[in-house]
Amino acid sequence: MAQLIATDNQIAVIGLGKSGFSVARFLVAKGVSFDVFDSRAEPAGKAAFCQQYPDIAVYCGELSADKLSTYPRLVVSPGIALDEPALVEAAAKGCALMGDISLFCQYVDAPVVAITGSNAKSTVTTWLGDMAERDNKRVAIGGNLGTPALDLLLDWPDAELYVLELSSFQLERTEVLAADVATILNVSEDHLDRYSGMLAYQQSKQRVYRRAKWAVYNRGDRLTTPLVSQTMKTVSFGLSKPDLNDFGLVAFEGREYIAKGLNRLLSTDQIRLKGGHNIENAMATMALADCAGIALPAMIDSLQHFNGLRHRCQLIADHNGIRYYNDSKGTNVGATIAAINGLTEDERREIILIAGGVGKGADFIDLAALIDQKVKSVVLIGESGPKIAALLADEIQCENADSMIAAVTKAQAMAQPGDKILLSPACASFDMFNSFEHRGDVFEASVLDLIGAADGII
């Protein structure tokens, strides 16, 4: 298939963001002619792109179906919905809609591990990469996380293993992935502003299993079970006792162990990342690593030393007995539920939650129920704050804040020694911040400003 692409100079790249730049760079390197389209009148990256690629035509403004339909292939960035009328019409006229991962699949010649899910995919992707590196493998890590997949092909051509985080938007424009190992870690409400409902969202995730050699699924989440009809091998992970070749938890002499079947591998208290959700993440990562041929000693070494990611239940400070956690990457309800459960100890209500932002169509009912059960108090920010507040029980102390520094100040006033202030918004960030990273950075700066940069910082 690489030869077909290489001889086809009628390609339109739709979208001039990070993904579009990556596609353009790759096509130029492969000697493929193409044009670029962006629906914005003046996309932020246009000047830089034209300077780097002065001979490539760039068309900006409303997308035209008549113009696009003259190109046999449209490489559409993940940020552009496939129900965009011009794309729908172009597809109806015979244009093939594809994404950067489709191109990646046509050119890659090393094993691929594909990781998707509503939550934890960045943690598991990075963790698996760490295990591979400790096993002395030349591993390239990216996709939806960090480096775009096509840049990995250009910059790490001698990679022995590619580990890709994939979003539902990338998968929905990838016809056949054919990964060596594929997983859906979990499925919960997310991106319902882009999908007609949970079924459509789940179906986009299920595409990761198409023609995979190994499918790793979460037996505690039936929506992750492979639905495709094929003869691939399967391995499950979960918090229950595992079957013979699966990963799970077993008790032995008063301690809890991760096990593969009957074989105890590591006690959970030896995992550096704390929280019940990270035990599940550890099992998922081990299952993927096992299927990818990574040696057990490297897995164990990683479990004992991996520090996790910024903005993902990251401990920022411990000051006057109050701990501050940055979970800004908790951009949907499922992520925030996992964070609350992971940080809850015994039956004590010790979490002051900062939440809110762009809800992406979520209803927040499950989150509100958990808050009623386990959270001490809540500070709400952003456009979804009132919607969340309306669902909370009357006895839950709830405050509103119009800035992050105000939110942290109010949370701090509610907290007592032993409590945990958790930023886990359950929402996207774009009503108040540039990105979830920006939101997390502002939270961290606000915490440090309030407690004093030289006092109690972890």
Active site residues: 121, 144, 191
DSSP secondary-structure letter at 31? Answer: T
Look up residue 250 and give its amino acid: V
Query: What are the φ/ψ torsions at residue 23 (nearest 5 degrees)?
Result: -60, -45
Residue 411 token pair? 């949370």
Q: Which residues are within 8 A (CB) of 22 and not within 5 positions of it... i.e. 6 or more apart?
A: 100, 148, 149, 150, 151
DSSP secondary-structure letter at 40? Answer: S
Residue 335 token pair? 């992520």
Long-range contacts of 204-208 (CB under 8 A, 24+ apart): 204/168, 204/169, 204/171, 204/172, 205/116, 205/117, 205/168, 205/171, 207/171, 207/172, 207/174, 207/177, 208/114, 208/116, 208/166, 208/171, 208/177, 208/179, 208/182, 208/183, 208/184
Q: Which residues are within 8 A (CB) of 44 and not within 5 positions of it... i.e. 6 or more apart?
A: none
Long-range contacts of 87-95 (CB under 8 A, 24+ apart): 87/14, 87/63, 89/65, 90/65, 93/65, 93/69, 94/69, 95/68, 95/69, 95/71
